[in-house]
Amino acid sequence: MSLKGPDFFIVGAPKCGTTAMADYLGQHPEIGMCPRKETHVFATDLAERMAMRRGQKPMGRERFIELFAGLQDARLRGEASVWHLYSASAAAEIAEFEPEARIIVMLRSPVEMLPSLHSQFVFVGIEPVEDFAAAFRLDPERERSGAPAGFPPRSYRSAVHYGEQLRRYLDVFGRERLHVIVYDDFRDDTLGAYRAACRFLGVDPGFEPTIEIVNPNTRVRSRAMRRFVRRPPEWLRPALHRVTSERARRGVARAMIRWNTSVGRRAPLAEDVRSELAELAALEAGELDGLLGLDVRRWLG
């Protein structure tokens, strides 16, 4: 008998609470969440760039379905990949895979989202420019000449073209199968936003998950350590494979990453950069109001 894959997808956007929402939905007794987040298996247009980010080959559909082998008894199965919203091909590919799929989208003001995304890119080692303002101002050049290796988006600005991205999902799935969560609502009333998502999916909204901070702002202590963990030297790899199992290697890598990670507040934005981001937020607020009647005027404050 063939394995059943996901019935619903959390497609993005990045740094908007998707990790937490996937965790909370995964605690629900009627839901089984894919044990691996960020497969991006339906973002084939981004596959080459995503592979550079991970340092490995893109995942195939057969391997993807196998991830759900232990979730066959769940009433619903879900998957979360934050760049599926940005991808130009993912909406159509998801619909081809599961025509009745339900889609959850989480959105955050560009004023908050883009600095957070930059911090994440610096942390994982794909953004060489550590100052957000400097990296943000490279957007026009990167759109012309190409973003750094491993970047899913062409530029920071393109990552928050929410109206354009949502339109693809509306065209394919229609309004009734699209649920949009504004990050501010999720932050201010996490349980309420979770219950609304449960009602959208048709599962019992009365179940209460354990709620905690899932994905705080992180920094690396040592860039050299991060490079070593992500890509060990060529001369060392054969020896590691001979004397350790894959499970052991992953355990050591996780321990090294934890040691090399610090959590702290992000530096405040310069006023001119905040002003540029506010203009982006205003443009997208107008788009969201026109497309969905979604009121995000709080982004303009």
Task: Looking at the structure, tell me whether residues 229 and 89 fall in a common domain.
Answer: no
Query: Is the pLDDT assigned to residue 1 strictly greater than 90?
Result: no
Q: What is the pTM of this model?
A: 0.84
- Residue 246's domain comprises 218-263
Task: Looking at the structure, tell me whether residues 236 and 207 fall in a common domain.
Answer: no
pLDDT in tens, 113-133: 999 999 999 988 899 999 999
Task: State the Cα angle at 11 between 117 and 143, rounded to 5°.
Answer: 50
The confidence band for 245, taking pLDDT boundaries of 50, 70 and 90, is: low
Task: Looking at the structure, tell me whether residues 48 and 188 fall in a common domain.
Answer: yes
Flag whether 154 is in a domain.
Answer: yes
Mean pLDDT of 146-174: 96
Task: Looking at the structure, tell me whether residues 257 and 284 fall in a common domain.
Answer: no
Query: Is the pLDDT assigned to residue 237 strictly greater than 60?
Result: no
Instruction: Specify the higher pLDDT residue, 57 or 249.
Output: 57
**CATH number, domain containing residue 275:** 3.40.50.300
Task: Looking at the structure, tell me whether residues 13 and 155 fall in a common domain.
Answer: yes
Task: Looking at the structure, tell me whether residues 198 and 68 fall in a common domain.
Answer: yes
The confidence band for 265, taking pLDDT boundaries of 50, 70 and 90, is: low
pLDDT at 190: 96
How many domains are there within the chain?
A: 2
Task: Looking at the structure, tell me whether residues 90 and 177 fall in a common domain.
Answer: yes
Task: Looking at the structure, tell me whether residues 78 and 152 fall in a common domain.
Answer: yes
The confidence band for 51, taking pLDDT boundaries of 50, 70 and 90, is: confident
Flag whether 190 is in a domain.
Answer: yes
Task: Looking at the structure, tell me whether residues 178 and 229 fall in a common domain.
Answer: no
Flag whether 130 is in a domain.
Answer: yes
Instruction: Specify the higher pLDDT residue, 264 or 15.
Output: 15
Task: Looking at the structure, tell me whether residues 143 and 229 fall in a common domain.
Answer: no
pLDDT at 48: 84
Flag whether 86 is in a domain.
Answer: yes
Flag whether 116 is in a domain.
Answer: yes
Task: Looking at the structure, tell me whether residues 86 and 127 fall in a common domain.
Answer: yes
pLDDT in tens, 170-209: 999 999 999 999 999 999 999 999 999 999 999 999 999 9
Flag whether 2 is in a domain.
Answer: no
